[in-house]
Amino acid sequence: MHALVRDGSQVCGRLRILPVECEKCPMLLTPEICRAARALLKWETPQLAFSAELSTEVVEHFEAGGMVEPASVEVMLEALQGAGIEFIAAGGKSLDGGPGLRTLPMPEPEVMAAEEALELEEPPPGAWEAI
């Protein structure tokens, strides 16, 4: 079982690997997806920990973006699935499911060159005094 970590890489065992698909891992559980799944179930962290037979600290550490054993991620995934959460892989479809959510690719933020920023209008008199 692989786990995604905050920087987008995956962890297999305790080694970080490039983000590639694994036939054994159709769904990669991220900290954000884990928190969202708990929210849908209205579970607090201890409830997931109990259901997955893990310590609360392991769940909290994972959800904060820390590295945990892949086996821990796997049992969290199984606990959430056992409670009725269906995980949909990127590009996947849910034909029979109820309401849900997924993340969409975000456009790159618009970056302004320093010269363009200098051409912007000056703030009205007194605008900086309010700060």
Residue 115 lies in a domain: no
User: How many separate domains does the chain show?
Assistant: 1
Closest CA to 81 of 51, 49, 60: 51
Residue 129 lies in a domain: no
**Higher-pLDDT residue of 109, 64:** 64
pLDDT at 64: 94
Residue 119 lies in a domain: no
Residue 109 lies in a domain: no
pLDDT at 125 exceeding the cut of 50 = yes
Distance, CA of 7 to CA of 22 (rounded, Å): 18
Residue 108 lies in a domain: no
Most confident by average pLDDT, 6-15, 55-64, 107-116, 117-126:
55-64
Strands 2-4 and 15-17 turn out to be unpaired
CATH number at residue 42: 1.10.260.40
Residue 94 lies in a domain: no
Residue 104 lies in a domain: no
Residue 89 lies in a domain: no
pTM for this prediction: 0.59
Q: Which neighbouring-strand residues pair with 15?
A: 12
pLDDT at 105: 73
Distance, CA of 78 to CA of 73 (rounded, Å): 9
Residue 84 Ramachandran class (φ > 0 left, ψ -120 to 50 alpha, else beta): left
pLDDT at 101: 64
Domain enclosing residue 25, as ranges? 2-82
In tens, the pLDDT along 11-61 reads 444 434 333 344 444 457 889 999 999 999 999 999 999 999 999 999 999
In tens, the pLDDT along 54-102 reads 999 999 999 999 999 989 999 999 999 899 888 877 777 777 766 666 6
